[in-house]
Structure 1
Amino acid sequence: MRLILLGPPGAGKGTQSARLVKQYGIPQLSTGDMLRAAVAAGTPIGVRAKAIMDAGNLVSDDVVIGIVADRIELPDARKGFILDGFPRTIAQADALEAMLASKGLKLDLVVELKVDHSKLIERIVKRADETKARGEPVRKDDDPEVFKTRLAAYQRDTAAISPYYKARGRLIEIDGMRPIDEVWGDIEKVVAPLDEAVASR
């Protein structure tokens, strides 16, 4: 079962991904984690990525796709995987489709957690205020200004991904503003039958 989880920062992707990992025994693949692991392992694509980063440049899409391609060959991803934070652009989505097709694979489902951006910002501001009131330092990700910048980047770059997958009949939208267990219930409704279908292939 090969899934993508979409949604802006603060939408609850991490929480729901952790539940999917536990329930279905498939790994959550973060491009940042995969990149660091490939560099640490000194794989051919990791060596290439390290040279690019050491030069102060951003890793190109083809390198990221290469890292994803290597990672999904590992034994723990044979039953499937959850991609979190990737693809971020139409070009990356096209490259991912082509890479999977070259392995005789395809994505099964793209789940998007739909959230109200203004309420997300309110939630982060409240969390930051509560943290300060306890006399604790505010996490960088919970700084309202940093969060607004990340949200704007998501809207600019990644929002185009939803229509891309919707046009291919792969997108399921779920209201991510409700309690965690309710969101999980809706994810389960679409993922459980898919898991059974994949198991019977």
Structure 2
Amino acid sequence: MSEHDHKHSHDHSELGEMDLRVRALESVLTQKGYIDPVALDRLIDTYQTRIGPHNGARVVARAWVDPAFRARLLRDASAAIASLGYAGRQGEHMQAVANTPGRHNLVVCTLCSCYPWPVLGLPPTWYKSAPYRSRAVRDPRGVLADFGVVLPEYTEIRVWDSTAELRYLVLPERPAGTESMDEEALASLITRDSMIGTGLALKPAP
């Protein structure tokens, strides 16, 4: 290892307080033999690069451009998602629900924080919070407004309660003006929140 590499690997000047605490805890647990740093690095890499909302975005983008895949996704989401290589724990049983001009879907887990990890990664903090879990059922329109989503009064809001047995993926509406965009470009418009229902797909740049 060069002097530059050695200095870089131990330079914590740009790390925040929480990062420093995590690294210190990791060091102590490694020294005591409680964790395997190689296994930990592999787990972190999995959730940073292999599992996350980018997987769900690819599923939605495929449904936007491929009517046959869309039909399969709505009929048997688990199989359709697995056909793209996204499967695993917390995503064994999936159901896709499609937004339409007259209906908007919102996902919540009222008991804990059941969430489709293979396509959306780890759940955000707010998804696990008691206020979201209770208000999403009682006042879904108000919750959406808090997220900046204001829907017409005629739009029905359907709330889906995710469980350990069944998890949901919202298929947001495809934005206007995207007819010439390919699948990869479309995926960049699909956010995590739009696949939970607390957001909408992004509009394409002018």
Q: Does the pair score TM above 0.5?
A: no
Q: Which has the larger radius of gyration?
A: 2
Q: TM-score range by the shorter chain?
A: under 0.3
The alignment's TM-score, normalised by the length of structure 2, stands at 0.26
TM-score, normalized by length of structure 1? 0.27
**More relative contact order in 1 or in 2 (CA 8 Å, sep 6+)?**
1
